[in-house]
Amino acid sequence: MFRIGQEEIDAFTRVIKSKELFRIGSKNQEVDNFEKELAEKVSVDYALFLTGGTPAIISGLIGLGVGPGDEVIVPAYTFMASALAVTAIGAIPVIVEVDETLTIDPEDVERNISPYTKVIMPVHMLGFPCNMDKIMDIANRHNVKVLEDACQAVGGSYKGRRLGSIGHVGAYSFNYYKIVSCGEGGALLTNDREVFERAVYQHDGGSTFREDYLQTAKGPAEDLGTYPIYSEFATPVFAGMQWRQSEINGAIMRVQLRRLDGILADLRSVKKQITAGLSDTRLGFLRSNDPQGDCSTHLGFIFRNEEKARLFAESQGVNGSLPIDSGRHVYTNWEPIMHKRGACHPAMNPFKLPANQGLNCDYRDDMCPTTLDLLSRTVCIPMNPDWTEEEIQIRIDSIKAAAQRL
């Protein structure tokens, strides 16, 4: 989270004073309005506000009809939740390389397409956009779907289109470490009505009896926000979970959404200034698939070897880190996946299901050598939209001094 203040406090207070904390039946319709405002911001037909980015991914995969017998291609560098979401619905994650942008390598995606591939999951890591032209081309040629994990890239874009709106489904995260936040939260984005309906049932198991609720609720149905459209769904009801959001978080996210473009503009300005200030150095910048569209939450450098990368990262004032050290963001540290423990109960473990026998899950620590090499030679420096001109110059000077010592 970059910015939060009095406006969020006022939004929180407004909901508390109204005593309308529950989404269903709320006269304030904070969640309903946030979903509409988010859908408009991202230019999609449907947005669904959930309790986290992982529920958004799971709901999106279910919306796309993924289950046992299916493979979902995920990059070797992403938070473990991207892969865990796949096992949560009984499918198998296929782990592929990232390229020099630290995002999914389209060439390795194509090499790993099989008759069982149902979905490609590009992850816009550190706010850097994936090469969505190539990903969508591969998906269209092989008749598979695309779910964009844009949890670290809320509001970013690729060639003028918001990340999360290009594939068949998009997922956002609003936890504390994301660009905009309500502490914990997420959103599903789609233009596909069937995907949306399935996601609604998945995120709210109670929606299976919502029509009965409407018949007994006081007041006209239109006062109950989006829930009356459940009676118009074509999708047969099924047993879902409980990932609804509260009116409190809806109100906070409406304020955060209004802050989003300003945060991104300032992040991009800071990164642009630092990059320009380093133009006379020999540092190699991490390549971006869309420098204008990336969120600019990080400035990346790539070095010839890990030794130089560490020397640079540890230099005074640089405040850099190597992605190889980021724990559960590196596939070798995905213990539940690497050890094929996809569920607590062995009968629910997707790796043991008959439908998944023969699928691509031959996981080894050395299976993605290019990814491990790139992550060990890259240094990422976090950006802050509120740095002053003086603070920006201090960082330029520190990075220059570190580069001269290499």
| Cβ–Cβ < 8 Å for 138, 112 | no
Q: Which percentage of the chain shows pLDDT scores above 70?
A: 94
Q: Which backbone phi and psi does 47 adopt, to 5 degrees?
A: -135, 140
Residue with the bigger pLDDT between 277 and 213: it is 277
Query: Does position 209 have pLDDT exceeding 90, yes or no?
Result: no
Per residue in 131-165, pLDDT (tens digit) is 999 999 999 999 999 999 999 999 999 999 999 99
Per residue in 313-342, pLDDT (tens digit) is 999 999 999 999 999 999 999 999 999 999
Query: Does position 223 have pLDDT exceeding 50, yes or no?
Result: no
Average pLDDT, integer, range 373-383: 98
Query: 348 in helix, strand or coil?
Result: helix
Instruction: Please report the domains of the chain, with CATH numbers, ordered by start residue.
Output: 6-258 (3.40.640.10)
Query: Does position 212 have pLDDT exceeding 50, yes or no?
Result: no
Tokens of 92: 């198998």
Tokens of 202: 């998945």
Query: Does position 109 have pLDDT exceeding 50, yes or no?
Result: yes
Least confident of 26-30, 101-105, 348-352: 26-30
Nearest to residue 227, comparing CAs of 21, 20, 24? 24
Beta-bridged to residue 190, according to DSSP, are 46, 169
Query: Does position 368 have pLDDT exceeding 80, yes or no?
Result: yes
In the DSSP assignment, the letter for residue 104 is B
pLDDT at residue 230 in the model: 53
Per residue in 31-55, pLDDT (tens digit) is 999 999 999 999 999 999 999 999 9
Per residue in 165-208, pLDDT (tens digit) is 999 999 999 999 999 999 999 999 999 999 999 999 999 987 65
pLDDT at residue 218 in the model: 32
